[in-house]
Structure 1
Amino acid sequence: MSPGRARPPISEPSAPWIVVGAAGTLGQDVVAAAREAGRDVTALIRKELDVTDHEACAEVLTGAGVVVNCAAFTRVDDAEEHEADAFAVNAVGAANLARAAAAAGARLVQPSTDYVFAGDAGTPYPEGAPVAPRSAYGRTKAAGEWAVLAASPDNLVLRTAWLYGAGGVNFPRTIVRVVQERGTAAVVDDQRGQPTWTRDVADLLLRLLDARAPGGVYHATSSGDATWFDFARAAVASAGLEPESVRPTTSAAFVRPAPRPAYSVLGHGALRRAGIEPIGDWRARWAEAAPSVLALNSAT
């Protein structure tokens, strides 16, 4: 925080919020959750703020109390051939926002990803596990984490994974559409993670800020774990389709440019130490989310 500047308590509506990347699936839910909680939110989309422009970041963030960076290069496979472009957004952009937030006396929240890990564990990754990304996307997001935490120990990094939400393209909606159109779908059963609703991530973000949780890394994923095959069957069942229409397959059948982590289960020890309840079991949260997430499928 700048010397002599008093920041309004971050749990109060008097602390202005700026959400960057507000048009994305997570950004939409962060904006909605913050406004529902009475926060004064400025929502910025890409054409309103280019995070790779340091001067623009410094100008826009003046007066902010909380900054949430939902801007990201998330095209995992494209990042393999365009790592410099991904680095510009995920690392340099995060650093620009972190420096500007620190100068403004604001707290920055940086969503990150399970891809910072190698994906070869057999038990949930703790927050302090060494990062070992195997993809360009993971490398650039890991660099963004470092930049954000280096700028201020007050900042928060929220690693999440397997996101779905009502806004934008998502896995469950896509699988339901494929089964509706083709009658069947093959889904990998050898990658394990935590399907996570973006609304739950937004809610957790608010709870962390309201509790004045210590800065550092937290894992914003649902509890429990599943394979993509498990999640696909749950999705089609919620759409009133036969779960057996989804068939298991292996990652070898779907070779992609970027390696996918085989094991993306994240632990929630830091949340519990901060007195914050982790997001609930993924199946229960999916049951709550399904009507809104699958609404477009039922409308077509």
Structure 2
Amino acid sequence: MQKNILITGANGQLGSEIRRIADNYKSTFRFFFTDVAELDITEQQAIDGYLKENNIDYIVNCAAYTAVDKAEDDSDLCYKINRDAVANIASAAASNDVKVIHISTDYVYDGTASKPYIETDKVNPQSVYGKSKLEGEDALLKICPQSIIIRTAWLYSIFGNNFVKTMIRLGRERDTLNVVADQTGAPTNAADLADTIMKILVYSESNKFESGIYHYSNEGVTNWYDFTLAIHKDAGITTCKVSPITTDQYPAKATRPKYSVLDKSKIKATFGISIPKWEDSLNICVRELLSI
């Protein structure tokens, strides 16, 4: 018998990637893809009604306010989506016995570490975006402890607006580019995260729902400057000179974590998944972008 999965924020990068692979799982799961037009997650009664009406078993919450700099001036809306809506989902899920997988971020850390963050490391967000995401995590675990939180970082895909697509566009438009080289992390192809989420759901059906916080990004470590060089190489861009700069030389409203490499040992061990290297996943994405 099929289980029913609600995907919120389905028009974003991650939701779109889950939609792409949904047919591979149609014997096990029935998918309900919603964005704000179909379901307003800032209204708890709307979520509650939707869960009841469609007999939902799992929610994968991909909805988020992710405009990091804009959030500094638009904190009310940021908190409404990243904290209050998550609390609404949690309340509706708890009262309807629905399990939740929620996507969070490396921005919950302050970025002062020198080794990859594990899930139990101290959180200390430095931006409105990071604080709103952490408060969303806290609300979810308080109201609906039977939840999985996946913290990810540097997300990109063939969908929506993201760093990879921006660097390809700018690389074609400009002769020179300055890119920050002193922020260290690991990019994440949303297609890989979507695949992992589905593996977790399959695992949950045949084993048990292993609630808790997990980290996921592609394997390896880089910085934005080297990431850009790799993007341009894969895209065959040779006419744009990319120069490294420091964070201080690129003023931004919101503070970014200087170091946000995530340790993925827990998610790999719990669900038996392997994670591709960031270089390989980038290459796949860029090749697809070039063919569109």
- TM-score band w.r.t. shorter chain: over 0.9
- Structure-2 residue corresponding to 1:90: 82
Deviation track 1:156-197 (CA, whole Å, cap 9, x = no partner) reads 101111011011111111112112111221111000111110
1:290 aligned to 2:286? yes
CA distance 1:264–1:278, change in 2 (3 Å): farther
Matched-pair contact (CA < 8 Å) for 2:108–2:130 = yes
Matched-pair contact (CA < 8 Å) for 1:117–1:133 = yes
Q: 2:111 is matched by which residue type in structure 1? A: G
Match of 1:165 among 157, 169, 185: 157
1:53 aligned to 2:31? no
- Structure-2 residue corresponding to 1:42: 32
Matched-pair contact (CA < 8 Å) for 1:191–1:262 = yes
Mapped to 1, the partners of 2:162 and 2:59 lie a distance apart of 25
- Structure-2 residue corresponding to 1:233: 229
Of 224-233 and 147-156, deviating more is 147-156
- Partner SS, residue 16 of structure 1: strand
CA distance 1:293–1:261, change in 2 (3 Å): farther
Matched-pair contact (CA < 8 Å) for 2:153–2:187 = yes
Of 176-185 and 226-235, deviating more is 176-185
- Structure-2 residue corresponding to 1:207: 199
- Structure-2 residue corresponding to 1:30: 18
Matched-pair contact (CA < 8 Å) for 1:124–1:265 = yes
- Partner SS, residue 158 of structure 1: strand
Mapped to 1, the partners of 2:142 and 2:251 lie a distance apart of 36
Match of 2:73 among 81, 85, 89: 81
1:68 Cα deviation after fit: 0.9
1:266 aligned to 2:244? no
Alignment of 1:6-155 (within 5 A): 14-38=2-26, 39-62=29-52, 63-155=55-147
- Partner SS, residue 56 of structure 1: helix
- How many residue pairs get aligned? The number is 284
Mapped to 2, the partners of 1:35 and 1:131 lie a distance apart of 37
Mapped to 2, the partners of 1:274 and 1:41 lie a distance apart of 24
Matched-pair contact (CA < 8 Å) for 1:159–1:217 = yes
1:276 Cα deviation after fit: 2.4
Output the TM-score relative to the length of structure 1.
0.90
CA distance 1:162–1:243, change in 2 (3 Å): farther
Of 23-32 and 226-235, deviating more is 23-32
CA distance 1:132–1:243, change in 2 (3 Å): farther
Matched-pair contact (CA < 8 Å) for 1:57–1:97 = yes
- Structure-2 residue corresponding to 1:195: 187
Runs of 5+ consecutive residues of structure 1 not aligned to the other structure = 1-12
1:253 Cα deviation after fit: 1.4
- Structure-2 residue corresponding to 1:4: none
Q: 1:126 is matched by which residue type in structure 2? A: I
Output the TM-score relative to the length of structure 2.
0.93
Runs of 5+ consecutive residues of structure 2 not aligned to the other structure = none
Mapped to 2, the partners of 1:294 and 1:51 lie a distance apart of 35
1:221 aligned to 2:209? no
Mapped to 2, the partners of 1:294 and 1:123 lie a distance apart of 35
- Structure-2 residue corresponding to 1:7: none
CA distance 1:91–1:242, change in 2 (3 Å): same
Q: 1:152 is matched by which residue type in structure 2? A: C
Of 56-65 and 27-36, deviating more is 27-36
Q: 1:128 is matched by which residue type in structure 2? A: T
Match of 1:178 among 164, 170, 193: 170
Of 211-220 and 195-204, deviating more is 211-220
1:143 Cα deviation after fit: 0.7
Mapped to 2, the partners of 1:226 and 1:94 lie a distance apart of 31
